Structure 1
Amino acid sequence: MINILTAAEITSKKHLNYINKPLSPIAALVMLTLSFSAQSAPELMRAKALDLQHLNDKNRIVDDVEFPVSEYLVSEKLDGIRAYWNGTQLTTKSGKQIHAPHWFIKNLPTIALDGELWLQRGKFQALTQIVMDHVPNEEAWRSVKYMVFDLPASDLPFEQRYNTLVKLIETHSTVPNNVLYLVEHKRINEISILTQWLDIIVNNHGEGLMLQHINNYYVSGRTNKLLKLKQHQDAEAIIIAYEKGNGKYKGLMGSVWVKTANDKTFKIGTGFTEQQRKNPPPVGTTIQFRYNGYTERGIPRFARFSRVRLSPDT
C-alpha cells in the first residue's frame, strides 16, 4: 500500500505612529495563547520540528548521527485547520466545536479521525472565514475537504494504521456528499529526494512535509517520531507599533514593531499585501511570522509576515 518515491518521480513533478506600554513575557504569552471558549481539548499527537539545516545528502543529521529516513512515511504538510472527528462531532485542536453543515458530517464514519479541513494551497485565509463561522455558509463548505491522516483510537503502529485508513477512505469514496480524502504518504529512501520534494512543494505555494515513523503509536503530545520539515521556522508575536512607509510605500504602513512571548522586540516589513499596508492589523493583534534562524542577539532572522492569528486554532 506504500509507494516509494524515486528521484525520477520528484524531478518530473523611522517613525513610530504609536507604541503600547512594554508587554511582560507573561502578558505576551497570555495574549498569544488566548482562545475561544472550548470543550476539553482532544489528546492529539503533535509534531516536532526537523531542522532542514541539520540534514545532508549522506542520510545524516547534526553531529553526524544517522537519520533513518526510509523508516518514515512522508506526506505533504497541508495549510489547513486541524480537525478532530470523535465519531459524532468535529472539533479544533483546542476543543472548539466546528460548526460544519449537517450534510458535511452526517455520513462520516463513527470512528475517531484526525486530519485537516482544507481548500487548496494558498487558500488558508478563505478557509478560516468558512470554518470559524458559527453559522455555516452551506455553499462555501462545498469546497472544503476533510483530509484525513490518522486513526487516533487505533492501537496499531502507524504503517498498519495508514493501510487501514487507505481502505476506509476507498470504501467511503462512494458515499453521497463524500468529504473524506486521504493524505497520501510515501516512503523515501534518501534525504536528497526528501529535500527535492520539499523544494517542489514550497515552490508551488505549499507548506512543507510531515514524516511519521512506521512504528509510531498514536500518543498525545509531541513526539520525535512525528516530524515536520519546512524551509523556514514559524512563530507568533504581538503588534505593538507601526512605522510609516517610504518610497513606494509612502502614505502606507511600512513595517510593524512586534514583541514576542520571550520579550524580544523587532520590526517586520515584508510579507504584507498592499491592502494590508493600507489597513494594517490593529495594535495588539497576534500575528504569525516566518524566519530563518536567529541573530547573535536572539532576534529572528529574515522575519516576514505570514498571517493574522485569530485564535490558536488558526
Structure 2
Amino acid sequence: MRKALLRILPCLIVLLGLVMARPAYPAPLTPSPVMLANVYHSGIALGDYWVSEKYDGVRGYWDGEKLRARSGAIIYAPAWFTAHLPKTPMDGELWAGRGQFEQASATIRQLTPDDEAWRHIRYMVFDLPGHAGTFDQRIPALQQLVAQIDQPWVQAVSQFKVADEKALKRKLDEVVQSGAEGLVLHRGASLYRAGRSDDLLKFKPFDDAEARVVDYVPGKGKYAGMMGSLLVEAPDGTRFRIGTGFTDEQRRKPPPMGSLVTYRYQGITSGGKPRFARFMRVRDEP
C-alpha cells in the first residue's frame, strides 16, 4: 500500500498544484452585442456578400463611451487611443499585425495600459452597430466616420467582391500565405443583429471552435510536473482532451479552470468529437 501511494503521490501533487494555482473564474459578464460568424459553406450566393481579411486580433466593441471585449469586459486602452472615437458605436478588431495575436492579447489584457505597447495596436473597424441601414449602406458611412476620426491607428477594413468560389479560394490562399488567418464574408443586405447567423461567415483553411476548461490532465515524460492536456467541454456537453498546441510556459501556467479556449480541428470523429483538436488561445476575455 505504501509503495502504491508513493507511486501516485507525484501525480496528486501536480493536480493539486494546478488547481490551487488557478483562481476561480469570474462571474460571466454581459456580452457585447456583436455579430458572430458562422463557418463558410459552398452554395451561397457570393454576389450578395462583401469579403474582407479576417484580422487575427482581439474583438473590440466601442459602445460610444468605452472600449469593450466580446465578453463585455472593459479594455483599458490609453486615453489617447480612444480620445477621438465618436459617440457612435463601432465594431472592429484590435490588431497588432499578421501573426501577432499574442502581442495584441498581452497588450490588451493589461489593466494598466502600456503606452508603448499600444503604439503597435490598430483598431480595424468593420461595422457600425448603431446604424439602421444595410451593410451595403454601412460601408460608406463607416469609411466617412473613420476619415473624420483621422487617426492613423483607427482604420476602416477594406471590403471587396469576388466573382465566384474559385476566386474566393484563390484569395484565401493569397492572404493565408501572407500570414493572415483567413477571410470574412458579410451579406450586403443584412442589418446589424447581435448573434450568429449566415449574414456573417468566416472562411479559413481549418475549422475552429470554443470549449470550456473543466479539468487538467498531468503531463508525463518531458512534461512531468506540468499540464499534459486540457479536459474541455463543448457547448453541446461533449467532453474531450486537447493536448497539443501549447508552449512550455502555457503548460506550466495553463488556462484558468472554467475559461473558454479556442481550438482548431479537422472534422469530427464517428464518436462526435473534434478530430486532431489543437489549442490556439484563451478566448479574448481581458
- The C-alpha deviation readout for 1:46-79, integer Å capped at 9, x for no partner, is 222224xxx3xxxxx3xxxxx2112100111111
- The C-alpha deviation readout for 1:159-197, integer Å capped at 9, x for no partner, is 121012122223433x5xx42111111111111111122
- Alignment length, in residue pairs? 266
**Distance change in 2, residues 1:99/1:75 (3 Å):** same
Match of 1:45 in 2: 35
Match of 1:207 in 2: 181
Structure 1 residue matching 2:267: 3-state secondary structure: coil
* Contact 1:145/1:181, CA 8 A, preserved across alignment: yes
* Contact 1:268/1:305, CA 8 A, preserved across alignment: yes
1:168-179 correspondence to structure 2 within 5 Å: 168-173=145-150, 175=151, 178-179=152-153
**C-alpha separation in 1, matches of 2:11 and 2:98:** 35
What is the one-letter code of the residue matched to 2:211?
Answer: E
What is the one-letter code of the residue matched to 1:256?
Answer: S
Match of 1:23 in 2: none
What is the one-letter code of the residue matched to 2:219?
Answer: E
**Distance change in 2, residues 1:41/1:267 (3 Å):** closer
Match of 2:232 in 1: 259
* Contact 1:117/1:147, CA 8 A, preserved across alignment: yes
**C-alpha separation in 2, matches of 1:227 and 1:187:** 14
What CA RMSD, in Å, does the superposition of the two structures yield over aligned residues?
3.0
Structure 1 stretches of 4+ moved >6 Å: none
Match of 1:244 in 2: 220
Candidates 159, 175, 182, aligned match of 1:185: 159
* Contact 1:293/1:300, CA 8 A, preserved across alignment: yes
Using structure 2 for the length normalisation, give the TM-score.
0.81
Match of 2:20 in 1: none
Q: Does 1:281 align with 2:271?
A: no
Shift of 1:200: 2.7
* Contact 1:85/1:114, CA 8 A, preserved across alignment: yes
**C-alpha separation in 2, matches of 1:87 and 1:213:** 25
Q: Does 1:313 align with 2:281?
A: no
Using structure 1 for the length normalisation, give the TM-score.
0.74
**C-alpha separation in 2, matches of 1:192 and 1:280:** 43
Q: Does 1:233 align with 2:203?
A: no
1:13-162 correspondence to structure 2 within 5 Å: 17=11, 35=26, 38=29, 40-51=30-41, 55=42, 61=43, 67-162=44-139
Shift of 1:240: 2.4
